[in-house]
Amino acid sequence: MTAAAQTRPILTVQGLNAHIAGQQVVEDVSFTVPATGITALLGRNGVGKTSTIKAIIGLIERTGAVELDGERIEKEPTFKIIRSGVGYVPEDREVFSKLTVAENLRLAERDAAPRRQLVEELFPDLLARSGQMAGTLSGGQQQMVSLARALLNTNKILLVDEPTKGLAPKIVAEVAETLAEAAKTVPILLVEQNLHVVRQLAGGAVVVSGGRVVHTGNALEFLDDAELTQQLLGVSTEPAAGKTAAKGAAL
């Protein structure tokens, strides 16, 4: 964390606002993502984490300043932002269900020399299923396709939105492992509800509430502070009490 803080951040978000259908979903959000390791973007359900990610790459209308590796990108269209070196793994995976696995991957290739070999090594399962329609894959396999699409290219940053959502524990572990592996070469901004995964992976943490950033700091320190976690995420980090607390927060 301290080492990362000394170098220039890879991504700087300053005063980001975003609207969907006239409703403000991101309000004056500011944070930075260091150039190494995994930074977790945390918060309760519906506080604007996904919207923040989408606003960064221009999938929803936004104002404010976004700087990627020293370049301002907030005025650029989505495809140019992605091409300048962003890998995006969306919530709910969003694979093209009527395209084959191979087509899904080919569509994502934007480098002159995409790292097909790496992807094949990471996800041997996909190679075997390359002719299958992506819509017929299991959730875990679709997540592999979605991750593979981002890992095919050389990126300055990966934006990964809830990669373990709805997956079986075994697959969750696999996904976490993949992310840890990827993080050795590329910084990641990770939205994740599963706090075990966050503990396992994240260095820094940015906590959002009501569309605003309410806390930034070290992820482990944050999660160890039970009171603060309870207050900002509505969950206790103690597994036993976790469920009831989450329910209380939802109501």
User: Using CB under 8 A as the criterion, which residues of the chain lie in contact with other proteins when the complex forms?
Assistant: 21-22, 57, 59, 77-79, 82-83, 88, 90, 94, 96-99, 103, 106-108, 110, 149, 153
Write down the least CB distance from residue 205 to other proteins, Å.
Answer: 25
Based on CB atoms, which residue is closest to other proteins, 84 or 218? 84
Shortest reach from residue 22's CB to other proteins, in Å: 7
- Least distance to other proteins from the beta carbon of 119, Å? 14
User: Closer CB to other proteins, residue 17 or residue 100?
Assistant: 100
Cβ of residue 238: shortest distance to other proteins, in angstroms? 34
Is 98 or 184 the residue whose CB approaches other proteins more closely?
98
Q: Which two tokens stand for residue 231?
A: 């207050």
Question: Which C-beta is closer to other proteins: that of 99 or that of 246?
Answer: 99
- Nearest approach in angstroms of CB 184 to other proteins is 23
Which lies closer to other proteins via its Cβ, residue 145 or residue 182? Answer: 145
